[in-house]
Structure 1
Amino acid sequence: MWKKLVLLSQELRLEPVEEEVLESTTKSHILIVQRQLSVLEEEVEEFRLALRQYIDCASTQTGCLHIAVQRLANESRFILYEFWEQSNVWKNHLQTNYSKTFQRGNVDFLETPEIMTTMLVPASWWVLNNN
């Protein structure tokens, strides 16, 4: 085991941490929203229809950069990732009819309450990875 750790430490090359100075603009960060949805097994197909409609509407909204969905194997749990240009754009999105409809429908579809987390990341990361 010790030999494996030594070999791994020799192969691993970490770059030194560099401080990035950002201008104080509203476009310096993007918002990533992660939503974990544990769906009742008998409601999976209905949930998928509602999710598809939600994604179709949200992805056309100004300020929505990308939406991705993963379903965990052998579970009825979905993880939804939403990338938004700004926090206020996402907050406005939450007030739209289609978003409210999706939220109301989830009351019937979900086994447990939705878990939602948000994180701001430098907008430059998005630009670098999507060119």
Structure 2
Amino acid sequence: MVSFYQDLKLEPLEEEVLEGNTSSHIVIVQRQLSVLIEELDEFRLALKHYVESASAQTGCLHVAIQKLSNESRFILYEFWESSNIWKNHLQSNYSKTFQRSNVDFLETPELMTTMLVPASWWVLNNN
């Protein structure tokens, strides 16, 4: 059996020169949420409202949800035009409401990571 990774062909390494700031980057946010089984239905409703509100915001490029099979664990990916836009989003009423509701819905505290990637990668892959 041939592994997926053995068939994977990556482009040759090319050095990309960027301007001296992060304005040419987008922010990817990954949120890992382990939900209490008994709170799953309520969590899904809160998540639906959060995703609908976030997706409608100027500066939100995309939101994706993955649920791990046989677990009550979700991974949420958010793509934002800039760090400032994402930070402003965190202060919005719908974001704060979702954060507060998670206190009751989650087994463990949410794990959140962020990463800056060149905006040109987003433009190239989404045209």
TM-score, with structure 2 as normaliser: 0.90
1:10-21 correspondence runs (5 A):
14-21=10-17
Number of aligned residues? 123
Instruction: Report the secondary structure of 1:16's partner residue.
Output: coil
Instruction: Report the secondary structure of 1:43's partner residue.
Output: helix
Q: Does 1:29 align with 2:25?
A: yes
Partner of 2:63: 67
Distance 1:95 1:12, change over 3 A: closer
Q: Distance in 1 between matches of 2:12 and 2:34?
A: 39
| Aligned residue among 116, 121, 124 for 1:125 | 121
Tell me the CA shift for residue 15 of structure 1.
3.9
Partner of 2:95: 99
| 1:68-110 per-position Cα deviation (integer Å, ceiling 9, x unaligned) | 0000000000000000000000000000000000000000000
Distance 1:13 1:63, change over 3 A: closer
**Percentage of matched positions with identical amino acids:** 78
Q: Distance in 1 between matches of 2:48 and 2:8?
A: 41
Tell me the CA shift for residue 26 of structure 1.
5.0
Structure 2 letter corresponding to 1:99: S
Partner of 1:113: 109
Tell me the CA shift for residue 12 of structure 1.
6.7
TM-score, with structure 1 as normaliser: 0.88
Runs of 4+ more than 6 Å apart: none
Larger Rg: 1
Gapped runs of 5+ residues in structure 1?
Answer: none
| Aligned residue among 46, 49, 53 for 2:49 | 53
Q: Distance in 1 between matches of 2:42 and 2:10?
A: 46
Q: Distance in 2 between matches of 1:108 and 1:53?
A: 16
Gapped runs of 5+ residues in structure 2?
Answer: none
Q: Distance in 1 between matches of 2:117 and 2:110?
A: 23
